[in-house]
Amino acid sequence: MGQVPAIVDGKLKLFESHAILIYLSCAFPGVASHWYPGDPAERAKIIIQAEEILLRSLSKLENVWLKDGRFLGGSTQPSIADLSLACEVMQLQLLSEKDYNRILSPYKKVKKWIEDIRSATAPYFDEVHEHLFESQKGIREKMVTQSGKNNVRSKM
């Protein structure tokens, strides 16, 4: 199955939109630094802000949109909105297992919602996310290897 969005630059192939944006902002001269600051302190501020926004969004998803049912807005069946948002939330799978659990463990309804969408759309959900699951394994293995070398916390 083809992946969209995608970018190929020489031998580098990327299939995830956030990775593509970071690569483009860093790889080419002249890209304004506000997109992804080169200064580590400024970049850290952006990462912290992003995590704060993510946690507020997950809280709203849990306490408002999933308050009254298995799917968004209290529905008993998934909608396109469920599929679209679930694909965004699934990208958290690329975090280290520790960060993934730290971020998502307080949100039991969100985790159940993902599983309900997965079940309702089986086997297609796993097929669509196959590349993500493959990447997750490689990224987490790399994080474990790197953390053993320098014990640096994974970046979000």
Output 11 or 154, whichever has higher pLDDT: 11
Give dist(CA 68, CA 29) in Å, integer: 49
With a threshold of 0.85, does the pTM exceed it?
A: no
Is beta strand 12-14 parallel, antiparallel or unpaired with respect to 7-9? antiparallel
Read off the pLDDT of residues 6-50 as tens digits, 9 standing for 90 and up: 788 888 888 777 788 888 888 888 888 888 888 899 989 988 999
Distance between start and end Cα atoms, the chain:
27
Give dist(CA 117, CA 71) in Å, integer: 8
For the chain, give the percent of residues with pLDDT over 90.
Answer: 40
Instruction: Please determine, for residue 146, whether its predicted confidence score (pLDDT) is greater than 70.
Output: no
Residue among 151, 51, 63 nearest 103 (CA)? 51
Read off the pLDDT of residues 90-110 as tens digits, 9 standing for 90 and up: 888 878 788 889 999 999 999
